Structure 1
Amino acid sequence: KRKKERKKERKKERKKERKKERKKERKKERKKERKKERKKERKKERKKERKKERKKERKRKRKKERKKKKKKEKEKERKKNKERKREEGRKEGRKEGRKEGRKEGRKEGRKEGRKEGRKEGRKEGRKEGRKEGRKE
């Protein structure tokens, strides 16, 4: 009788042990699973973050490029305008110079002509006057 009881006891004991073991195992498994899940989640998050960062970076780069291009264009335009102004200035200057020169030349010519005419007129008048005076 006692032997049987002890056998039963041991059986019960072993059953309990196995139950405990299984519980532990399940706990371990669950822990492992959760760990895996968290890892997966973190990986996903990091991927998302990297994607976002890359997008931002590309945006920044494009902005920079556009700025550079705009600056270059502005500089080109400025140079072109400067050149055009210089050309216009030179043309204008040449025109002005020629005009001035022509004006001066004409003035001088007219002055000379008038002077000569007056001189001749006076000479003639004097000659005539003297001739007349002698005749008288």
Structure 2
Amino acid sequence: KKKKKEKKKNDKKKKEKKKKEKKKKKEKKKKEKKKKEKKEKKKKEKKKKEKKEKKKTEKKEKKKKEKKEKEKKKKKKKKEKKKKKKKKEKKKKEKKKKKKEKKKKEKEKKKKKKQQQ
């Protein structure tokens, strides 16, 4: 009888131990899962952040490029305007010169005519 009781006690103890072990294992698994999920979440967040940063940088770069292009165009336009102005000035000068020449010639002609008389 005593032995039987002892066995029962031992069995109960074993059962308890097993139960505890099972619980422990379950807890561990749960913890691991949580840890993994946290890690995944962090990874996802990081990726999201990086994507956002990339987009931001790209936008900035695009703006910079556009600004540069605009400046280039502006400069070109200015240059063209200057060129045109110069051309116009040159033409004007040429015209003036020609007029002067003509006048001079006319004067000479008149002078000659006078002398011939």
TM-score with structure 1 setting the length: 0.69
Q: Mark the runs of 5 or more structure 2 residues left unpaired by the alignment.
A: none
Matched with 2:48 is: 52
Q: After TM superposition, which residue ranges in structure 1, 4 or more long, deviate above 3 angstroms?
A: 100-110
CA offsets, 1:38-94, max 9 Å, x none? 111112112211221222122122212211221121111111111101101111111
Cα offset for 1:104? 5.1
Matched with 1:62 is: 58
Question: Aligned-residue CA RMSD in angstroms?
Answer: 2.4
**Counterparts of residues 95-110 of structure 1 (less than 5 Å):** 95-103=91-99, 106=102
TM-score with structure 2 setting the length: 0.78
Kindly tell me the number of residue pairs found equivalent between the two proteins. 112
Cα offset for 1:26? 1.0
**Matched residues, percent identical?**
44
Of the three residues 69, 74, 81, the one matched with 1:78 is 74
Q: Mark the runs of 5 or more structure 1 residues left unpaired by the alignment.
A: 121-136
Distance 1:40 1:94 in 2: 80
Of the three residues 3, 11, 16, the one matched with 1:15 is 11
The one-letter code of the counterpart of 1:31 is: E
The one-letter code of the counterpart of 1:35 is: K
Task: Work out which of the two has the higher radius of gyration on C-alpha atoms and give 1 or 2.
Answer: 1
Distance 1:27 1:101 in 2: 110
Distance 1:99 1:49 in 2: 74
The one-letter code of the counterpart of 2:69 is: E
The one-letter code of the counterpart of 1:63 is: K
